[in-house]
Amino acid sequence: MFSDIGALELVTLVVLAVLVFGPDKLPKVIQDVSRFIRKIREFSDSAKQDIRSELGPEFKDFEFEDLNPKTFLRKQLENNEDLKELKELRGTFDLKKEMNEVADAVHGRETAPAPSAAPTAVNGSPDLLKKQDKRDDPGAAERPPYDSDAT
């Protein structure tokens, strides 16, 4: 329950409790708090048992921790046999390389630099999807300077 409280925080809480409640009332307060926590746990456990009994025998393996989406997905993925095939497929597929090739194609970069000829499609016509170098197209206009005040 308090797994993320360090030693310094615990000492600070004890000193604060002694200052607020005093050394005489502190044992009574600790008993009251522990009794309250125990009642909350009992109420929670009985509510879980009621829900399990209402769901029926087909949900006998139901755990309330599975309602957390991360836990649910982890459990479903561990039990899935189709993932073995996906893992084998993923081993043969280099996603980073493929993404770099797509990014290079979008930005007009060649993976192997070609001579100064314009990029051409398979049929020999110019490839309009590839960017052409400005030096290859002398009639290409220069891009106007960026004006941040105009936008």
* pLDDT given for residue 51 in this prediction: 85
DSSP assignments along 6-20, one per residue: -HHHHHHHHHHHHHH
- Residue 15 in domain: yes
Model confidence at 137: pLDDT above 80: no
Which domain does 14 fall in, by range? Answer: 7-64
Residues in the chain: 151
* pLDDT given for residue 23 in this prediction: 87
Considering only CA atoms, which of 54, 51, 87 is closest in space to residue 67?
Answer: 51
Euclidean distance between CA atoms 116 and 32, whole angstroms: 84
**Lowest-confidence segment of 22-31, 57-66, 113-122, 135-144 by average pLDDT:** 113-122
- Residue 13 in domain: yes
Count the domains in the chain: 1
* pLDDT given for residue 122 in this prediction: 53
Query: Mind listing the pLDDT tens digit for each residue in 74-108?
Result: 877 777 766 667 777 777 777 788 888 888 888 88
Better pLDDT: 101 or 62? 101
By CB atoms closer than 10 A (0-12, 13-18, 19+), residue 119 is middle
Task: State mean pLDDT over 120-146.
Answer: 58
By CB atoms closer than 10 A (0-12, 13-18, 19+), residue 149 is exposed
- Residue 137 in domain: no
- Residue 73 in domain: no
Euclidean distance between CA atoms 118 and 106, whole angstroms: 16
- Residue 118 in domain: no
Residue with tokens 């600070």: 12
* pLDDT given for residue 115 in this prediction: 44
